[in-house]
Amino acid sequence: SGRSSSLDEFESGRAVDTALEWLGFIDAGKKEFFFAHDNTPSGPLSWDEVEEIAEEFPEGYLSTSGSKFWVPMDLMRVARAA
C-alpha cells in the first residue's frame, strides 16, 4: 500500500504553521526559497522569483534553506493572502 498524496490532519496543521513562519522571509526579500516541480528543485530564490516559476508550474512545492519540509505552493499563496 502506497502513501496517499493528500495531507492528513496533523500534516495539514504543520504545513499551515510552516507557511506562516516562512512569510517573514518574503517580507525580508531574502533568497531563502527553493521551488520544486516534477522532482526538480530550483534555488535559492527570492519570493518574486518563486512567483515567476510558479506561474508556469502552479502545482509546485516550496521549501526554505535548512528546512526539511516542502509546502504546496497553493498553501503559501493562501497564507500570503490572509
Give pLDDT tens digits for 25-67. Answer: 776 677 889 999 988 899 999 989 999 999 999 999 999 888 8
Give 49: exposed, middle or buried? Use CB within 10 Å, 0-12, 13-18, 19+.
middle
Confidence of residue 3 (pLDDT cuts 50, 70, 90): very low
End-to-end Cα spacing for the chain: 37
CA distance 47 to 19: 13
For 8, which DSSP code?
A: -
- Rounded to whole angstroms, how far apart are CA atoms 29 and 59? 23
* Residue, of 50 and 82, whose pLDDT is higher: 50
pTM for this predicted structure: 0.72
The residue whose grid cell reads 535559492 is: 44
Predicted local confidence at residue 28, as pLDDT: 67
Question: Which residues have a Cβ under 8 Å from the Cβ of 46 and sit 6 or more positions away?
Answer: 29, 30, 31, 33
